[in-house]
Amino acid sequence: MSGRSRARRRLGRADFRLIAVGVVLLIAWSGLGFRLFQIQVVDAAVFEERSREQRTTRQDLAAARGTIFDRQGELLAVTIEGVTVSANLAEIEDITVTSTLIAASIGGDREALIERLESKETGWVTLVRQLEPADADHLKEMELPGLYFVNEPKRVYPAGRFTASVIGFVGWDNEGLEGMEYYYESALAGTPGYAEWERAIGGTPIPFASSEVVPAVPGSDLVSTIDLDITFAASQVCEDTIQRTEALRCTIVVLNPETGEILAMVNTPSFDPNDVRSADPALLQNAAVRMTYEPGSTQKLVTVAAAIETGAVQWSTLIHDVPYELEVIEGACDKGDEGDEVYGCYHDAYVHDDEDMTVKDIFTKSSNTGTILIQRELGDTAHRKYLESWGFGSRTGVDFSGEAAGIAEVDSTCGPCTASAAIGYSVSVTPLQMASVFATIANDGVWVQPHLVSSVVDGDGARRPVEPEERRVVSDETARIMRLLLQSVVESEDGTGGNARVTGYEVGGKTGTSRKWEGGSYSESAWIASFIGMAPIDDPQLVVAVVIDSPVNGHYGGDAAAPAFAEVMEHALHQLGVSSDE
């Protein structure tokens, strides 16, 4: 092969390489160009947003939680600045010494602090959350190595255990967990805000860069219906009553019958909402709206009012041959004088021969057998209708979570149920439900929905009043007659409520005594004693309901509950400036 041919072949290979390299470079640059075009033109906005996100810092702005006031403007729940104390384990010189000094300063558990600090070798440990500022300042003055302090909002309840079951409490993050704090969480919590700004690599804010601040919207304040002075008095009466009767629990509700405002709702024993983590869980429930019980003779108000309203009887109607013992189911009374409301044998509280009694006498003396005979005149259908009208078996709709509905059983196929329902068995209620029933009579036959908040005040100061529901249950004339019958229970020598009298005021009310349902049957030794009444009887301003759980010393409503009613009613009337009848 000639030299010229070999030269051409080498030149051809070189040209091919150059062409190949050129093609590769062209493809690479084309891809790079396409990618640059995609980044700088097509996806420019996407990458610009990513860059902005990397430069942007966001900080949440907590909303101030709303304050809860009583009806006079006294603080019931307020947020203050607390202090959370943390420890950097790497800086703690001596765990035992540090724990001892902290415990001595703030009253903590020394051994618990030591255990917490020794739980891990490195890192951070939270020692105390939401410490009182004064205690935190004392701790800061010690200048203990490794301790750090961060401000954190803390919820405080100035009235403590007196309003605990009503106001409730919040968790560590100031979120409502119980009571009004939970029910009105959306109003109290407000709306968090935030602040955003751009920063350089070192964290320094970039001058003239974009920034945004959305301020937090503070929570609304609540103006409650609670009267703190009446609440204090009712709480003291409950404590005294428990000591006097050796009862398990005392519950008192004070209502304004015209407006439905709950002026006091007390449960004793109670708990300290400022230290709820140390409380007995059994005490965290609000018995006034969640405890159901069979009301006993206070239920006779409903039976008699319905019979008068329908015209089945009048207050002066004579009921013939009212017996001491009444057998609804054959053979039920063969068990002896004790009888049992479940099985259809009924007795009066006192032994008597068959006698003619007026409706007023039956109500005043609280005759079980006489009331059952009145219910027969009324009839099951009408009885059931009026129980529904009064709200038995359904919730009142009070602004409090977890309200119990109770049970209203008036079924003619249920043997003794209709008779039992007439005198307060086969019916379960809450103390608040029964208080609202008596408030209906006090308010001329109009039921008004009970409520705990009178108005919600927004952050801008706008006030939104609460408008409760209303409905007529009985006529104003029937309500007037029932008030006179209630007065007879207290003022008459034959009445069962003599201990409920209040000096200077004419009072009306009804005693209630019922066996406690325990373990699937009625107890022979545990009772629920109650008294519910109103004053002044000609124009009632207040309704007070007292329910005593398992009193030992005197289990009748007239003995255990009526004296407590009198004390609370007298104080509340004076507190509200209600003129005496004298």
DSSP string, 482-494: HHHHHHHHHHSTT
| Coil/strand/helix, residue 211 | strand
| Coil/strand/helix, residue 244 | helix
Is residue 532 within 8 Å of residue 438, measured between CB atoms? yes
Report the alpha-carbon distance of residue 173 to residue 170 in Å, rounded: 8
Angle, CA of 98, 101 and 104, to the nearest 5°: 145
What stretch of H or E contains 545? strand 542-549
Residue whose structure tokens are 């919040």: 170
- The answer as to CATH 3.30.70.1150 being correct for domain 61-223 is no
Residue count (the chain): 582
pLDDT at 337: 45
Give pLDDT tens digits along the chain (582 positions): 555 666 566 556 666 677 777 777 777 777 677 666 666 666 666 655 665 555 566 666 667 899 999 999 999 999 988 888 888 777 777 778 887 887 777 777 778 777 777 776 667 777 777 777 888 887 888 877 878 888 878 899 999 999 999 999 999 888 999 999 999 999 999 887 766 666 665 556 566 556 667 777 889 999 999 999 999 999 999 999 999 999 999 999 999 999 999 999 999 999 999 999 889 999 999 999 999 999 999 999 999 999 999 999 999 999 999 999 998 887 788 765 444 545 688 999 889 999 999 999 999 999 999 999 999 999 999 999 999 999 999 999 999 999 999 998 777 677 688 899 999 998 999 999 999 999 999 999 999 999 999 999 987 788 999 999 999 999 999 999 999 999 999 999 989 999 999 999 999 999 999 999 888 788 888 999 999 999 999 999 999 999 999 999 999 999 999 999 999 999 999 999 999 877
Q: Is pTM, for the whole model, over 0.85?
A: no
In angstroms and rounded to an integer, the radius of gyration of the C-alpha atoms of the chain is 37
Cα 555 to the center of its chain, rounded Å:
28
Which class in CATH covers the domain with range 228-575? alpha beta
Report in angstroms the alpha-carbon separations of 277 from 67, 99, 424: 22, 21, 38
